[in-house]
Structure 1
Amino acid sequence: MNLDTESLRVAFAVVAFTLGVLFYFADFRSTRSPYSAWWCVSMALFLAGSATFLLEETPNRWLANPVGNALLVGGAASIWASARSLRAVPASAWILAGGPACSALAAAVDSPATNPWAGDLVFLVTMCLMIGLAARELALGDTEVSRLRMAMAIAAASVAAFYFCRLLAFVRDGPRGSWYNAYVGPAPTTLMGMAFLAVASFSMFALSSENQTKVLRTAATQDGLTGLLNRAGFLDAAGDRLRRFRVDGNHGALVLADLDHFKSINDNHGHAAGDTALKAFAGACRAAVRSGDLAGRMGGEEFVLLLPGVSALRAQAIAADISDRFEAAGAAAGFTMPTASYGIIPIEEDAADLEQLISAADIALYIAKSLGRNRSIIGASYT
């Protein structure tokens, strides 16, 4: 049985509606994540866009292409925003609104009441662009990208490639061409869209679960105030790093830092100022160290750094840089930041247990405190 384009569009709308409802109740209501919200929005826009094209056989056909194209491009833009939220990067409002607006305007000035392909050239360009951007976002990651996410990126890239081929066929063959209508016209595109939405929605559900697991894992190892590793997270990550030191024959340095007279900040300026100081010191640590270094908050006003491949003297220079950055943060905070004292321990390839290294750094830190604070002391290598 041959299905006409209108029947396929009704089926597409039913699929989008069903998947949107399932995704809303199965994922968004439990996670409330921007990722899930954007995917639900995309389903709603695809549903509305497909339904709008049913106006083509009515006196209101002049609305079909301008509104339908804008809604479908908006759905593709929402997929991009959903993928972008996985990296906790906000979607640009001008991209979200620009694509649909351009598609609507192009169709509106192209005689939509009599031209069934009004604005299709701009529509195809924007769909290709938005889905291509979504594929790029899915492929981007911090240090690694999961197989599921990469599979989704490949699927989105394939859809973007399909729209690009459709664009080339539209330009070369024209919308009335037999090749265009047989292989990349409205009917094949609607079938492809239904298949993609069905597969992508279930993959997105699995990807959402994977992302939530990652968020929970990060929350379990991250200090809620400063964003650095918490004590347990640092000890776990640093323990793994030290085991690699022994295998690879690497060296480095461990730095234990403590804010001087921190209690006076709370007493004189309030606990909110104390929190500001802690966050400012954490920011100074992040700015001074490399991406591969480990920085954590041990508790209270005590911080710790593990610096692979760094000598004790270099670690001392990094500590001085942190103090300079911390002092400069006082201007924005509106009060003078406390100073900091540091205990530094060189780590050799046959390094001792992590807790022993921290104890040795604590001794060096105590010496720095006893000598008047606001300084760093290098302790003896502990093996």
Structure 2
Amino acid sequence: MALGLSLPALDLPTLQFVTFLLSIATGILFMLDALRRDESESPRWWSLAFLLATFPPILYLLAARGPRLAVLYPLGNAVATLAFAMVWSGARRFHARSVQWVAVFGGPAVLLWGTWLFARPLDAWSGGVLFFALLALYSLLAAKEFWQASGSRLPSSIVLTVVAVLHGSFYTARAVALVWLGPDDPRFMVGFGPEVATTEMLVLIVVASFLMVSLGKERSEIALHRAATRDGLTQTFNRPEFIRLAREQLRRHGVVRAPVALLLLDLDHFKRINDTYGHPFGDTVLLLFARTASQQLRSDDIFGRYGGEEFALFLPGVGAPEAQSIAERVREAFAQAGRIVQGEPVGATVSIGIACEERSRGELSSLVQRADRALYQAKAAGRNRCVRYTPETAMPAAEPAPLRIASGG
């Protein structure tokens, strides 16, 4: 005789109790994370959201004990709605966007007020359509914020977007089914009943909490990488990262013997600017140059601060005529932008040395040395000009140009 085994079905109170335990544990974990991370408000909002999510199961369990406690149903719905509004707010704060306080508290307030006034006698389904619609709305708003985070190369934000959209779609469908079928229809109970919704909420808490933690870690890793590879003032590549990226491109273009160009750009009379207006003002001029130059470049150009007031620009796949054109474009744009800085007639300009190879040999030190010599010639010729290295522009052997690349390169 075959022995038939069947798994016991979880009843609604059991599911709600598990949801309570999971919500409070997740909320505490996010609270600890919020105390550890001072740079982001998102864990604080998500901690509040999960801690608030502990109350609806308790309120629903109490409301089910008798008609006199049915008033707790809409209160539980309002608290659940507020929890999802705080998830949305945390997603906004992840991007340093402002919290929409009216929208956060307006939805739960309208739900509570409308249910108590217009949905009597109160029961488990009072105000259900509005409740489901608000949960769907806040979920889709959160999905929009998470999707915008995906532009920062955060893989978890893409998955969070999908999860939030699926949750919003479930509650949209639940609202439609409640109107179309009613809560007593067996088809509604099978697809959208309390047991199904609570199970979906359990899965959501587990998946979303894991992804939210991953999201914070991914952003921290990107921030650390950026701090290690970018200049703190101008946010262009710092010198080590510029050299690394330029060498990498040189190797690639050296294989196919493609043209490359390297520019050294040095702000003219920068010491005079610092002495006249002060170092903070000098930093403003450096920032202005970095922004102005960046606007003239292609997406695959490598632009970095080489040291002090000197910048370097590597142009992959660019021959001499185009390199000269790009250099002149940068010089002219900065000469115009630097005429008046913060109301002061600064007249800031830049001199540019250009070194080109029609067929890359993969040697960065040689390019830097030639660009440096051309830059010396641009300075000697009166500044605010671009000079391309040729054998004719090379300095005499008695006056070697200082090699500005790091040792070994």
Normalised by the size of structure 2, how large is the TM-score? 0.79
Tell me the residue number matched to 1:180.
Answer: 188
Asked whether the 8 Å contact 1:81–1:90 carries over to 2, the reply is no
Tell me the residue number matched to 2:5.
Answer: none
1:236 matched to 2:244: yes
> Using a 3 Å threshold, how does the CA distance of structure 1 residues 22 and 271 change in structure 2: closer, same or farther?
same
| CA displacement 1:46-95 (0-9 Å, x = unmatched) | 23455555674576755752x54454344334434545566xx333533x
From 104, 112, 121, the counterpart of 1:114 = 121
What are the within-5 Å matches in structure 2 for residues 267-282 of structure 1? 267-282=275-290
What are the within-5 Å matches in structure 2 for residues 158-307 of structure 1? 158-247=166-255, 249-307=257-315
Asked whether the 8 Å contact 1:35–1:85 carries over to 2, the reply is yes
> Using a 3 Å threshold, how does the CA distance of structure 1 residues 248 and 301 change in structure 2: closer, same or farther?
same
CA displacement at 1:338 relative to structure 2: 1.6
Q: Which whole-Å CA distance do the structure 1 matches of 2:89 and 2:359 have between them?
A: 46
Please state whether the residue corresponding to 1:209 is helix, strand or coil.
helix
After superposition, the CA RMSD in angstroms is 3.2
The code of the aligned residue for 2:306 comes to M
Structure 2 unpaired stretches of 5+ = 1-7, 395-409
Asked whether the 8 Å contact 2:11–2:195 carries over to 1, the reply is yes
CA displacement at 1:343 relative to structure 2: 1.1
Q: Which moved more, 1:181-190 or 1:47-56?
A: 47-56
1:318 matched to 2:326: yes
The code of the aligned residue for 1:160 comes to G
What are the within-5 Å matches in structure 2 for residues 74-153 of structure 1? 74-83=82-91, 89-94=95-100, 97-98=102-103, 100-110=105-115, 111=118, 114-116=121-123, 117-139=125-147, 141-142=150-151, 144=153, 146=155, 148-153=156-161
The code of the aligned residue for 2:230 comes to Q
CA displacement at 1:368 relative to structure 2: 0.7
Normalised by the size of structure 1, how large is the TM-score? 0.84
Please state whether the residue corresponding to 2:289 is helix, strand or coil.
helix
Instruction: Report the structure number with the largest CA radius of gyration.
Output: 2
Asked whether the 8 Å contact 2:259–2:318 carries over to 1, the reply is yes
CA displacement at 1:286 relative to structure 2: 2.3
CA displacement at 1:248 relative to structure 2: 5.0
Q: Which whole-Å CA distance do the structure 2 matches of 1:380 and 1:18 have between them?
A: 69
CA displacement at 1:262 relative to structure 2: 0.5
The code of the aligned residue for 1:109 comes to G
Please state whether the residue corresponding to 1:343 is helix, strand or coil.
strand
CA displacement at 1:324 relative to structure 2: 4.4
From 359, 366, 378, the counterpart of 2:388 = 378
Q: Which whole-Å CA distance do the structure 2 matches of 1:157 and 1:371 have between them?
A: 63
CA displacement at 1:184 relative to structure 2: 1.5
> Using a 3 Å threshold, how does the CA distance of structure 1 residues 243 and 262 change in structure 2: closer, same or farther?
same
1:30 matched to 2:36: yes
Asked whether the 8 Å contact 1:323–1:340 carries over to 2, the reply is yes
Structure 1 unpaired stretches of 5+ = none
1:45 matched to 2:45: no
CA displacement at 1:225 relative to structure 2: 0.9
The code of the aligned residue for 2:342 comes to A
Q: How many residues align?
A: 376
Q: Which whole-Å CA distance do the structure 1 matches of 2:363 and 2:113 have between them?
A: 71
Q: Which whole-Å CA distance do the structure 1 matches of 2:276 and 2:60 have between them?
A: 67
> Using a 3 Å threshold, how does the CA distance of structure 1 residues 143 and 273 change in structure 2: closer, same or farther?
closer
Q: More helix per residue: 1 or 2? A: 1
Asked whether the 8 Å contact 1:69–1:100 carries over to 2, the reply is no
